[in-house]
Amino acid sequence: MPKPAAAPDLFDQEAAALERALRARDDPALSAAQCRDALGELIVHFERLMRESRRLIRRSDREERELNELNGELHRLAAQLEYKARHDSLTGALNRGAIFDRAGRLLECGPLALVVLDIDFFKSINDEFGHPAGDAVICEVVNRLRGAVPGAAEIGRVGGEEFSILLPDADFDAALQSAEAMRQAIAGQPFDCLPGRVVTASFGVSRTARHGDFGDAYARADEALFEAKRGGRNQVRGGHAED
């Protein structure tokens, strides 16, 4: 069986020129003209190799830059996808899954106070002014919450007009005070997106000890929120605080 043909050597011509130059160097019988011819041939091939090497280096540098740009773009896209997976697209607040996950992680480290709130009469806002105005109200509520919550707090949108605020390590009284500050921030002045209309929200607060169950904490805060609704809205109610 015949042997497969060897792969062609890209430097066959250069290798042959080098071999002839070496023979010329070692052959005392060659004339000076023959030696110059051998050297000239070697120079020609060397110059070609230099040009090709420079071209390949430039191409390699360009491809490396392009690869770095693509890698950077992949990292940016991955970060965007991760952000979108964890944040509400309308307000930029954490979404329901992310805020619940974050609450569970915080409870592994220490106690957690929870504030839940619901915009009062939100359906009537949508019915009277339209859904774009309703979206604008939701965004403004989140903006006002951001200006009112403590620095360590985290805001999540858990439903259409429902929000949860996590207050790590806050005691129950401090959480009630924070909720009252949020209530005042929302109700304190009319919303620009509604013609002279004040928007209010109702609040429920609970506190859970370290390693507590967030589902239970949410249920207690949610019950307090319904008490605030039944009590006339635009108020803060506290649920049972777990030590």
The phi and psi torsions of 118 (rounded to 5 degrees) equal: -140, 130
The stretches of 27-171 forming alpha helices (DSSP H) are 32-86, 96-109, 122-129, 131-148
Structure tokens at 69: 């740009």
Query: Residue 186 corresponds to which tokens in the numbers above?
Result: 């929302």
Each as own residue / partner, the long-range contacts of residues 11-14 (CB below 8 Å, 24 or more positions apart, any chain) are 11/49, 13/45, 14/45, 14/46, 14/48, 14/49
Nearby residues of 200 by Cβ (< 8 Å), 6 or more positions away: 119, 120, 183, 186, 187, 233, 234
Residue 242 annotated to the active site? no
Q: Which of 161, 223, 227, 242 is catalytic?
A: 161
What is the rounded CA–CA span in Å between residue 34 and residue 40? 10
Active-site positions read 161
